[in-house]
Structure 1
Amino acid sequence: MKDSTSKKATKLDLTNIKSVPIRTFWITSIAFFLCFFAWFGIVPFMPDVVRDLGLSPSEKWNAVVLAVTGTVFARLAIGKLCDRYGPRLCYTWLLIFGAIPVILTGFVQTPTQFLICRLLTGFIGASFVITQVHTSLMFSSNIVGTANATSAGWGNLGGGANRLGMPLIAALVIGFGVAESSAWRYSVIIAGILCFSMGIIYYFFTKDTPEGNFNEFTEGNVPKVKKDKVGFLTVLKDYRVWILFVVYACCFGIELTVYGTMDDYLQNTFQLERITAGNIVLSFALMNIFARTLGGLFGDKFGKLKGLRGRVLFLSFILVVQGVMLSSFSGITNLYIAIGFLILFSLAVQMAEGATFSVVPFINKKAIGSISGIVGAGGNVGAFLAAMLLKFKSGAAERAAISANEGLGQDIMASAQAAASSQAVSEGYLFIGLVVVASGVVALGVRFSVKDEKIAQEELQSSLNTKPINA
């Protein structure tokens, strides 16, 4: 076996924190967790926010839309910035500046101020792109899919953990004498301070690549990474980027939408209590800590067996499974069977997310940031479109039910409204599931040249024959 050395990690040895790649992996994962924790941290407190600020139903919905909208534009921009300035500086400033609207949320006094803060807070959702770029630069091709998926799973975990963590922070501040009505304000301020502090840690304890920071490179001293060598227009012209944009819209975007609507669906369809339904949804969100990693792991395994095409084949397969599970779930009326299919859907959708970013680093290694940004933005676009579909279908069905049962009593109207919403969302899930199956077929359109396959195979063999060194 060839005995060579490299600073890129060839395995995910999570205990080897002396290694630059592993240390960076942990710091970027924790930063990503905190960003999503702060981004969705207001969700458990929305009833308090509505009551405190007097938000109308329309303003409450607008807050959700604005938070997602800000992320779309931020993800598109941040990828290009990562290619130019490096992920270290981009993450540092995103954490520091992104913490500001989170903190200011604790001081808002009007609905307009709250909506502006939600729009600006959405920018920290771009942390996903930087996380993927940074891990892609730190790990060799034999393990990059697993590393990307595992670090990304931490962010999604943060988006679910806030349901437990933020109320605990609120209970803590109440214990220090803060009025219960103001606890949500102090809680989001604390979340913002944590993000700000992580920005400082990120600057001092990470590097852009195992070989050093981008600003240390010279034209003749850049082993594999060069600053901004591929123009953004070149990336936009690559059809494979847009296929992956659609693919990520159909996995991460659908996960966000399904979990965002599942609480009400479980209550309306199976007459569950809100707390019970919320805990079921939370448990599926927490599966990200291992399910997304499985997607990246299988992507790497198929990459070893079948080359780059193998990564695409697995991505296509798991997308089809995801779509079939969601479509099947939509028509089930038995709670226990439904939960079984929901578990399988959750596993498949998160594996599909991990599998997507086991392919992304190989599209164009000279523009990983730009590509990650575009594909990442696809997730939020998918969430927005799917949410709009379910919102309009459910809204129309509920209005029709209210009109048909008007004058028959409040309980009858409420029951009819819940049944109408359940049926509309069920039809929406069925349609979305079929679209996801179609995206699995579309994913097969991602192709690599013989030259690309050869280069990837050479890199794989090199990484397998490489002995990493600490730095």
Structure 2
Amino acid sequence: MEISSTITETEPQKFALPVDSEHKATEFHLFSAAAPHMRAFHLSWISFFSCFVSTFAAPPLLPIIRDNLNLTATDIGNAGIASVSGAVFARIAMGTACDLFGPRLASASLILLTAPAVYFTSIASSPISFLLVRFFTGFSLATFVSAQFWMSSMFSGPVVGTANGVAAGWGNLGGGATQLIMPLVFSLIRDIGAVKFTAWRIAFFIPALFQTLSAFAILIFGQDLPDGNYQRLQNSGNKQKDKFSRLFYHGITNYRGWILALTYGYCFGVELTVDNIIAEYFYDRFNLKLHTAGIIAASFGLANLVSRPAGGALSDMMAKRFGMRGRLWALWAVQTLGGVFCIILGQVGSLTASIVVMIVFSVFVQAACGLTFGVVPFVSRRSLGVISGMTGGGGNVGAVLTQLIFFKGSKYSKETGITLMGIMIVCCTLPIFLIYFPQWGGMFCGPSLEKIATEEDYYLSEWSSKEQGKGLHQASLKFADNSRSERGRRVHSQTLSSNATPSANV
């Protein structure tokens, strides 16, 4: 069963993929590089991957770095917190930048601005300088927002969860890949003849160069929207410039965005936390070799190859049958299970059991990330970037708070911290129950019956009558029509007109 609105017969074929009325792709072809949709997909995940590698290049080498720089447990904890705290506000700013200037310029600019911090890691000489380079490198994680915004701008409702999930999941692979890459690069440089305290410094030039090249690839080959870049479309009058104040207002006043930010804080935020602690956890608790601990730690991040994309695909599958309510139920169930397995991970004491539980935990917590961004594109059409930034920033806030509370210094053992983190996941997932869309319903009730609500009612409410009089709402009108798929099975038994009355049941 496929839901798609393709180009009309009278319009010449412009795209390699079938598209809807906004020219967003209604199909997702993973192994295609067709411009502009699939090319944007590959550029987004590769650039985000490079930023993840840079941000988490230090943890797998911490046993060497801490000896070289005389780092204490508190220094290491502070540096880990710094690496994810910088992106909190950067992600919110990135969302707004995407709304105003487009994802291409926004992401490439941030990548180039943060690349020097990765190069400068090679000359860190004290705990303070090490903390600072990790802090500024962490800003690059805000490219996640531009990646999700880009996918939401290129792919239509029936496949947007899948596109967001795969792009972010493959990008997040950098957190696992760097656990393998950096020890290997370090070993190769040391074997060539460098002493170990020099080898780890030289190794940081590899992620720095990778990150720089990805930015230039975006600028050269990327495109903001299916029809072109923001600047050209605005100059030709095909896209209106929006006001920052209105974008920001409609974003921060939508309570659904805040709930998703909290939820994301305890799926992606937990993932960031684990990326920072897991190698050292296995190294210290089970007395493993550095390389062995790195391989085990890598399996957590590498699960993103399938887990987060699976979450996005599950979101789309549930929406196809049950609509938005299906997306919400799946998100709550999967993330709660992730919390349960996190609790178990902190309790098991054998190496084999810890590895098995960690992998199962990683699948659920990463799938929850994909499920979260299956919902995000529908919260607001006008302020998509702000909502994406709020949600993404929530992930970093969750990581900062979790590391401050449970993994800073020696207040808790790491196994106790992991157990308490699992309890936090379960508790912070409960507010999903409160998300309600008047046109689609929420987890426990269907669409509003007291006042007939349509997709147009919801998305046009972000535009004043004066703005609508100028025609600024046209893109939202198209999006409202294309988002009827979020009614689930009901969409096939109704006339898809702007005044269709939603049923009370999914």
Q: Please indicate the TM-score interval, normalised by the length of the shorter structure.
A: 0.7 to 0.9
Deviations 1:42-78 (A, max 9, x none): 2222233333333344333322222122111211211
| Structure 2 equivalent of residue 96 of structure 1 | 112
Selected match of 2:421 from 432, 436, 439: 432
8 Å CA contact retained: 2:59, 2:279: no
TM-fit CA distance, 1:461: 6.7
- Cross-structure match for 1:416: none
Q: 5 Å matches for 1:231-242? A: 231-242=247-258
Going from structure 1 to structure 2, the CA distance change for 1:388 and 1:3 (only over 3 Å counts) comes to closer
Q: Deviations over 1:218-259 (max 9, x none)?
A: 398547x86457421221111111100110011111223245
**Aligned residue number for residue 404 of structure 1:** none
RMSD: 2.9
> Partner residue of 1:415?
none
- Paired residue for 1:395? 410
How far off its partner does 1:95 sit?
1.5
- Deviation for aligned residue 1:110: 3.7
Residue among 106, 109, 112 paired with 2:128: 112
The corresponding residue for 2:272 is 256
Identity %: 35
The structure-2 alpha-carbon separation of the partners of 1:113 and 1:428, relative to structure 1 and needing over 3 Å to count, comes to closer
CA change 1:342–1:41 in 2 (3 A) is closer
Distance 2:283 2:197 in 1: 27
- Aligned equivalents of 1:196 and 1:334: distance in 2? 42
- Number of residue-to-residue matches in the alignment: 437
What is the deviation of 1:119? Answer: 1.7
State the partner residue of 1:49.
Answer: 65
Corresponding position of 1:372: 388
Equivalent position to 1:314, from 327, 330, 337:
330
1:407-451 CA-to-partner distances (Å, cap 9, x unmatched) read xxxxxxxxxxxxxx3xxx444434332332233321121111214
Aligned to 2:227: 211
- In structure 2, what is the equivalent of residue 444 of structure 1? 433
**Deviation string, structure 1 residues 195-229 (Cα, Å, up to 9, x no partner):** 11221111010000111111112398547x86457
**Deviations, residues 382-431 of structure 1 (Å, cap 9, x unaligned):** 11222222236x8246xxxxxxxxxxxxxxxxxxxxxxx3xxx4444343
TM-score normalised to structure 1 length:
0.84
SS in 2 for 1:11: coil
Is this contact kept in 1: 2:273–2:403, CA < 8 A?
Answer: yes
Q: How does 1:68-467 map to 2 (within 5 A)?
A: 68-174=84-190, 178-218=194-234, 221-222=237-238, 227-228=242-243, 230-263=246-279, 265-266=281-282, 275-333=291-349, 336-391=352-407, 395-396=410-411, 421=413, 425-450=414-439, 451=453, 458-459=481-482
Question: CA, structure 1 residues 183+333, in 2 after alignment: closer, same or farther (shift >3 Å)?
Answer: closer
Cα-to-partner distance string for 1:95-141 (whole Å, 9 max, x where unaligned): 11111111122233344333222221111111111111111111111
> Would you say the 8 A contact 1:323–1:433 is kept in 2?
yes
CA gap 1:371/1:162 in 2 versus in 1, 3 angstroms: same
1:4 paired with 2:4, answer no
Cα distance change of structure 1 residues 41 and 271 upon mapping to structure 2, 3 Å threshold: closer
Alpha-carbon offset, residue 266 of structure 1 = 4.9
CA distance in structure 2 between the aligned counterparts of 1:58 and 1:328, rounded to whole angstroms:
26
**Does the CA-based 8 Å contact 2:87-2:142 persist in structure 1?**
yes
Shift in alpha-carbon separation, 1:364–1:49, aligned structure 2, 3 A: same
- Note the residue ranges of structure 2 that are not aligned, 5 or more in a row: 9-18, 440-452, 460-478, 493-506
The 1:87/1:377 distance shift into structure 2, 3 A limit, reads: same
Distance 1:276 1:185, change over 3 A: closer
Shift of 1:462: 8.3
DSSP-derived class of the 1:186 partner: helix
Residue type at the aligned position of 1:395: S
For 1:12, give the aligned amino acid: F
Cα gap change, 1:170 to 1:452, in 2 (>3 Å):
farther
1:438/1:276 CA distance change after superposition, 3 Å: same
Closer, same or farther in 2 for the Cα pair 1:254/1:216, shift >3 Å? same
- Asked if the contact 1:138/1:209 (under 8 Å) is kept, the reply is yes
User: Mean alpha-carbon deviation: is it higher for 4-13 or for 207-216?
Assistant: 4-13
Matched, 1:61 2:84: no
Q: 1:40 to 1:338 in 2, by over 3 A?
A: closer
Q: How much has 1:275 moved relative to structure 2?
A: 4.9
Structure 2 CA distance for aligned equivalents of residues 64 and 3 of structure 1 = 47
Letter of the 1:328 counterpart: I
| Unmatched 5+ stretches in structure 1 | 398-420, 466-471
**Structure of higher RCO (CA pairs closer than 8 Å, 6+ residues apart):** 1
Q: Give secondary structure in 2 for the equivalent of 1:441.
A: helix
Moved more, 185-194 or 26-35: 185-194
Deviation at 1:260, TM superposition (A): 3.6
Instruction: Indicate how the Cα distance of structure 1 residues 170 and 333 shifts in structure 2: closer, same or farther if over 3 A, else same.
Output: closer
- Output the amino acid matched with 1:27: L
Opposite residue 90 of structure 1, the aligned amino acid is: A
